[in-house]
Chains A and B, each alone.
Chain A
Amino acid sequence: MALFGRRNVLVAMLLFAAVAPTFLNAYYLFVANTILIYVLLAIGLNILVGYAGQLAFANAAMFGIGAYGTGLLQVHFGWPFWLAFPLGALIATMVGLAISLPALRLSGLYLALSTLAFAQFTQWVFLNWEPVTFGAGGFKTPPISFAPLPISKTLGLYYLSLILVMVLFALAQNLVRSRIGRAFVAVRDGEIAAESLGVDLLRYKALAFGISGFYAGIAGGLYSAMLNFVSPEGFDLFQMVIHKAMIIVGGLGSIVGSVLGAGTLVFVLEALRKVKGVQEIAFGAILVGFILFMPGGIIGYLKEKVRGWEEPLHRARASRRPPVAATSESSEVRP
């Protein structure tokens, strides 16, 4: 195993993230938590766009639905965070599944436009359904508590985010290396071929949309708890562009790339926050730079230049068993 191979680097990153709160001040801890939340968003979007090849623009809306769902269930019904959070994510998942229905008939730019229209519609609902969403001003969510654990809210939320990132990262890695992941790639690489060979398009497209909705919903719930405040502008088109930029910078069709892209962009955005107006310019420059010079993203560069970063669509397999004897009774013709 190469010293700077993927596994070692990921373990080092994880160890750093685990001990980071002991030496980071409150602001940097906030940035670190933001990175964790964006890692979830980027992974979910990359499964949908990078693996399944569905050019959808509803991720920010789903992020918002997760945040609003989690926040509003607490505010209107007085439910605890621990109930509202999973339900908020579930709502986002359901919405993701619903969006997959038009995706069956649309592809490419048409899918992009229809999902964009859906995202704008979601914005409109956040802004105008005032009795429920509190309109443009947004609303405060009740502070969450980690009692009986002896841990502050900030620290608790950071570790909750870290645990969720670990679990959902592992889940995504396993998913894309499974038959499901390969079916996603088949839909992306050749939809007609996939369909004619019996890959159920409806099932796999719905699954990809549902999964990305779930990841965005979880991220939204964490985000609302971190800020203790939810308002529409956090989930607008610029937010969507950030998500897209993360998976392009990190590398399309790579879970590890999503992590790297999210980390890089949150870091850059925060570093430039002090200089007004530069943020957008730098952001645009990075995006254009990557598209022109590193279309494979950071992960593409690493795969090419550093040993141990290959990403097969398979888990490492034990030695193959000897072929099983054929059953001759079968009427089927064997190859």
Chain B
Amino acid sequence: MLAIQHLKVSYGITQVLRDVTFEVPAGKIVALLGGNGSGKTTMLNTLSGVVRCSGGSILFEGKECAGLSADNMVRRGIVQVPQGREVWPSMSVQDNLELGAATRRDWGAMRADLDEVYAMFPKLAAVRKRRAGSLSGGEQQMVAIGRALMARPRCLLMDEPSAGLAPTIVGDMVDTILALNRRGLTILLVEQNIGVAAAVAESAHILQGGEITFSGPAAGLVDNDEVLRSYLGR
């Protein structure tokens, strides 16, 4: 569904992604792992059109998407749940969700989608008029996910959804990711937490120094000595 080929991204003279190639098959959850500064977030920002690539290609459903602006990427169906949640703090929960559908004009269907998001996250329905900035971390993560869903993505990019959440809530997040996938969403998950990645993803890629250094099934990650050595330095 999403094929990234020989992708290169630079910030000025610093090359962040050297030559990245991997695929996200339709209907699957793929994890992208790596240490700090390995280029994971840059990878997602490039896929969502916020950062421009300097070479390579991004094929989404067979169509070239490299170089498209962010709003066009959203229209094609690639939507990001940004790192650190990044909800709009001074807006109400409902306004956050509605603005997730910034690229849409089909008002009636948007109303219906809003109700479905509330059905999926009943906690949000209870606080729909509260300022999003006043919610807990877990609730803000629900807002961030719901907001992305309002754009009707076909491929969801999630940037460290478990970061900064209490361990008990991380379990809920795993359930949420699996539930989204069961509804047919293709998910590219960037994680620092190998446990989360192994619990939800089928395959995993490790990004190191701007290149993919390991690709394989996600289930074996936790026991793979080579991976742990290269990635965690153990």
Contacts and interface: CB of A to CB of B under 8 A. Distances in A.
B126 to A, nearest CB: 16
Interface stretch (B8-16, B109-117, B204-212): B109-117
A62 B61 CA distance: 48
- Which of A179, A320, A333, A334 is the most central at the interface, judged by chain B CB atoms within 10 Å of its CB? A333
A200 interface: yes
B154 A332 contact: yes
Interface string B56-96: 00000000000001110111010110100011111110010
Interface string A52-81: 000000000000000000000000000000
Nearest to B184: A333
Interface string A318-329: 001101111100
Interface string A139-169: 0000000000000000000000000000000
Contacts of B161: none
Contacts of A186: 88, 91, 99, 102
A285 B26 CA distance: 62
A333 B75 contact: no
Contacts of B99: 179, 182-183, 186, 194, 197, 199
B48 A182 contact: no
Contact of B113 (A185, A196, A335): A335
Contact of A198 (B89, B91, B102): B102
Interface in B121-150: 146-150
A10 B67 CA distance: 49
8 contacts: A182-B95, A196-B48, A198-B75, A198-B103, A200-B102, A312-B92, A323-B115, A335-B116
Interface of B: 45, 48-50, 69-71, 73-75, 77, 79-80, 82, 86-92, 95, 98-100, 102-103, 108-109, 111-113, 115-117, 120, 146-154, 183-185
Interface of A: 179, 182-183, 185-186, 189-190, 192-200, 253, 312-314, 320-321, 323-327, 331-335
Given A324-B109, A335-B120, 4 more contacts: A185-B88, A189-B91, A335-B149, A335-B183
